[in-house]
Chain A
Amino acid sequence: MNIKHKTLFLVVSSVILVGLALPGYSATPKKGKAKTISTAVISDTARTIAPYFSPATAKKMTPDSKGFIQRWLLLEPINKPNRGNTVFTDSYLRTNFSMEYFPNQFTVLPKNGDKVKVGEQELTWHALESSLFNVKLFRFAYGLRKQYYGVIFWAVTVVNSPQEMKNVRMAVGSNSASMWWLNGKEAVLLSGDRRMVADDCVSPRLTLNKGKNIIRGVVINGPGMSDFCVRLLDEKGQPIKNLTITYE
């Protein structure tokens, strides 16, 4: 049993505001290429985004050994109060994901450190690499001392393909609901009060362009540990790994 499903601690989280801390990834994180799933318990009681994230670099990065994309530009959470996740119906999500939160939100390829204004909030884009197969948005927000419940997260990454690939599918899991686009075209919507499960929802067949492709996603959560995982599958359902991931 987890009472979080019944109660949103917005009161608590809403007082956790911008600017209370050093940049969260100041600690030296574990880095490397294809990370395998570790069962070791890592110490994470310090309020930092390490060991979940490290700053993105210009080094060549491919998807991990299972094809999960770990390099992302993440926007600090947008305040979106929801006392529970039962409101995340398809129509609610389409309405709220089509609203403009910041200029050019469906086209911009931000740079690390870029700032946007969302209502009264000034939010920063962070170019990061996840140390896990999934991107733990809760830890991103908590580590940066931002609010972590009642939020919307935007994520962007660039997938560089050595050739055009047809019949590709985008496989996504997210906590909670989310929506994803490939090169500006809607790929997949995950509705309802969801938990992140790898390959939970998969897009229809898509085409990866030769060269640069932009994946954009938006994740919404009320109370709960927001996160997502994304990988691309080939026409046989196998993860595509001969890609490079950049953030610019």
Chain B
Amino acid sequence: MSTATITYDDRTVRRFMTASIFWGIVGMLVGVLAATQLSWWQMNGKFLEAITFGLVKSEGLSYITFGRIRPLHTNAVIFAFVGNMVFAGVYYSTQRLCKVRLASDWLSKIHFWGWQLIIVGAAITLPAGLTRGKEYAELIWPLNIAVVVIWVIFGVNFFWTLAKRNEPSLYVSLWFYIATIVTIALLYVVNHLSIPTSLIHSYPIFGGVQDGLVQWWYGHNAVAFFLTTPILGIMYYFVPKAVDRPVYSYRLSIIHFWALVFIYIWAGPHHLLNTSLPRWLQTLGMLFSLMLWAPSWAGMLNGLLTLRGAWDKLRTDPIIKFFAVAVTFYGMSTFEGPLLSIRSVNALSHYTDWTIGHVHSGALGWNGFMAAGMFYWLAPRLWSTKLWSTAMANMHFWVGLVGILLYVSAMWVAGITQGLMLSETNPGGATLKYEFVETLQTIHIPYMLRSFGGGLYLLGFILCAVNIFMTARTGSATDATVEVKLLQKEKKDRMTLSEAFGSDPVIYAVLGIVFMILWFFLPPHADKAALIVAVILCIKGISVFRQSSKTWAEYFNRLLENYLPFTILIFGAAAIGGVVQIIPSLLVNRAVNVEDRLQLPYTPLELAGRDIYVAEGCYNCHSQMIRTLVPDVLRYGPAKDQGYSRLGESIYDHPYQWGSKRTGPDLAREGGALAAGAKSMRIGRRDNLWHFNHFLDPRQTSPGSNMPPYPWLFEAKADLKSLPKRIAVQSTLGVPWPAMTKDEIEQSARDQAVEISQALVKAGAYLPDRPDLEGENLRRYLSETQVVALIAYVQKIGTYQLVETPPAEVPPLNPDAYRKPVNR
């Protein structure tokens, strides 16, 4: 057996780690700013007047309004902070677990610099209001393509390293890394499918409920496969290393790995519970979320119980502290997740800060503390020295921990309080007790505590940055060199595909899943038969396993020595859930899937306004979805012709705008009928002048509101020139636009803008910044502004025409259609 001396590529690890700390601080700083904006609207730009002693004059600065920087915050912490941290951890551990240097220095370099360029691109485009309008998928299409290219480069670099490995078998960490790489690629590509209308704008190819379903299949699994699986892989490498103890249980690793990879994907619809999403999808979303509890806790057990032999170090070693608390937070948030996925709990928690608290206990506790522990463990090794200050790392730990606890408990209080208040009725139960804004004012103090907690957490990471920087300065960058035994080619990757997929475990798993899916979709009675077959297959599988557990174990050991079939099986397990949930909704004809109402198509000006609504990130605070719940209907759709939101009411919306958080009220019923005698002007729940005043100064119309003012909408001109292209793309996507020439489109938009401006001027609209304008001049000025387009859109939201109940013909692949529960 020959040996060789190899040097690991630790420079790439150092780079990613440094980038993670840098972007982490940037992302958290933006997060703290966004948090203070919810307490004090002045933080949206007015505060600049105070800190520059009046040099800057601004009621609100577009680049830093909440709607634009909340996406910047989420993208920065997910893809820049955790992303870079994951790349550092993956590259460090993979080289050592494979006993080989990273496959290509060039790919590593392109990966690093490419990823940083994408982040810079995001940091420029998002504040500029360039967005796709879908959460955690906001980046514009050229950046999407860059992300895919860089991700593929990462994948190639990783799998090439696996192929060159000098260690026959793949360790648990690598399983999780493989799952991350293949699943994120799938999720990212599907959810970003779009048709460009220009270099900086595109419409997603899915609309309405389909877009919502795809979005949360992606959104939930970004959490699963970007914030969970790679971190679990990192846990399996760095925790045993840090405590110098064996992993608690190998079989627990196997079971929770496969269970997580298979089950996670199905849970996406729990973000759309009680909405107009078809019930069978809601049911699957809830039930699979509940089934995630145990597999997630198995990961926590393997982490915590590996630490068990080393509790004595907990007092002295900050790294162990970070890991122990991180894994504990993982356990806590994976218990909270299934809890929030129960439809009745979700009825209260959804759209409130409880969800925000939940994701932050995962992000700050699990991701952030795993990152910190890993950084403190890596730094002395990467710069071959001691950690500069253990005391400072301990300080980071305590400051950070207090920060998380303040943050999370403030969000529990805020979320539950607001959820309860929103559903509290007057005596008699026929009307609601509180106005929306009253509930917002009640949670003012938790909101301040949240900013404070977030600030403490940020302070902790600044301490971390200083500590790592000083460690790097006192040491010198070192790439580890080791002697490895070279592995002959015939010792790995020899399994044929038929051997890999023709084995008993795979056959039983595939058959069991196939019959489970048939059970979902087959008509009455046939479904029961399928269920029985699935159960029998399960029992049979278990008995075969008991008899020949040795063969099964040997098969799995062999599989671990063959990365390609192993990867294919992982991909298959992760893909099934998405296929089963998404394909049926894509097949259902739009005309069938509308319930009894069909959205009225937008006019050109309304579309221009809608694009402004999306660009300003209004969906970050306003939903457009009245759930099938009494408090929702009473608050947002009490009239007979309003009620809960139907599927058809947003069927032409690209992207859909159902939203996920209500910092302001729902807007699904803001729109209304054509005004008397008007050609295209609508007046909905509120008057045009109300909206005009509201965008200028939200507190004038809604005292106590925390919405930022939007002065720039009164200066910038609406983009009518690009409308023909946008409308052409929408037509391609199946939105029923009437045939119009370019001139007709522009003329229509102008006519409607003039009509609205005229009404505004007549009603007494006044622009404080332009006191010189009045009468005809003001009308002419206003008709070109963005605010008039936006008002046109808001007055259109939720308008519909009644349609005949769709034909009785049963739509394909719809478990609800042919077996609606018996009404008793």
> Are chains A and B native binding partners rather than an unrelated pairing?
no
